[in-house]
Amino acid sequence: MSETNERNADLKALIRTIPDFPKPGIQFRDITTLLLDPAGWATAIERMVEAVSGPVDLVAGIEARGFLFAAALAAPLKAGVLLIRKDGKLPGATIAEDYALEYGTDRIAIHADAFAPGARVLLVDDLIATGGTARAAVRLLHKAGAVVTQAQFLVDLPDLGGAEALRTDGIEATALIHFPGH
Of residues 47, 65, 120, 139, which has the active-site annotation? 65
| Angle in degrees, CA 172, 149, 63, rounded to 5 | 90
Is 65 tagged catalytic?
yes
Contact 141, 117 (CB under 8 A): no
Catalytic sites, residue numbers: 65, 102
